Amino acid sequence: MLLVLPLFDHRPYRHLAHQPDVVRGVYKRLNDEIDLPMILFQYPEATGCAYSVAALDAIADIPNVVGVKAASVTPTKYAELHDALSDRLSILAACDAPALLGMLMHNAPGALLGISVTGTDRWVEFIREATEGSAEKAKHTYHTFAVPLMDGIYENQLQRTRCSTTSSNKEALVQLGEIKSSLVRAPGISVTEERKAEIRRCMQKAGLLPA
């Protein structure tokens, strides 16, 4: 399956993400020429290249378009996409910040999260409880596991430091012994010693590392 990043993430093309016929033409070509299932990556509206609901509606019947990674920032924007499209596409919650719980509780079929490479089994447990299990168990896991990691690794998507979230994600895996380096290519900035310590503290709080 393909995760298709925004095809109009280039300043002269961004306005085209709101044009249903243009978006449909591009995805129809991908459907016909590549013939693999596709999940669209819907960026936040602040990026200027988010697809309009009308554009997503126009491609929802293309056979290989099966889902949307809805990085919509707020539960309200997630709900807008879900309510308009969920009868035809899987609208996956995508937020490495506290708004995630509200998205999941809006009948989300699942989630697609960058942060879930760290402690994947616990994320699976949390998402399962939030979407089809116990709301109380989901809330408990959210506060004791998900919130510390989203704050410590992804800085709740507020970008409090200059460090790359990719580097932070990699550093968490380094500390778990799963990979060897958290370096990222320029212009991304690799984690500092201060960030490494912060990531260790958040993983200890989440129960992934011993205190």
Domains of the chain: 1-112 (3.20.20.70), 135-211 (no CATH)
Q: Is residue 98 within 8 Å of 152, Cβ to Cβ? A: no
Query: What's the pLDDT tens digit per position in 12-61?
Result: 999 999 999 999 999 999 999 999 999 999 999 999 999 999 999 999 99
Query: What's the pLDDT tens digit per position in 174-184?
Result: 999 999 999 99
End-to-end CA distance of the chain: 39
Single-letter amino acid, residue 39: I
Query: What's the pLDDT tens digit per position in 77-127?
Result: 999 999 999 999 999 999 999 999 999 999 999 999 999 999 999 999 999
8 CB-contact burial (10 Å; exposed 0-12 / middle 13-18 / buried 19+): buried
* Mean pLDDT, all residues of the chain: 97
Helices 165-175 and 193-205, packing angle to 10 deg: 60
**pLDDT range class, residue 188, cuts 50, 70, 90:** very high
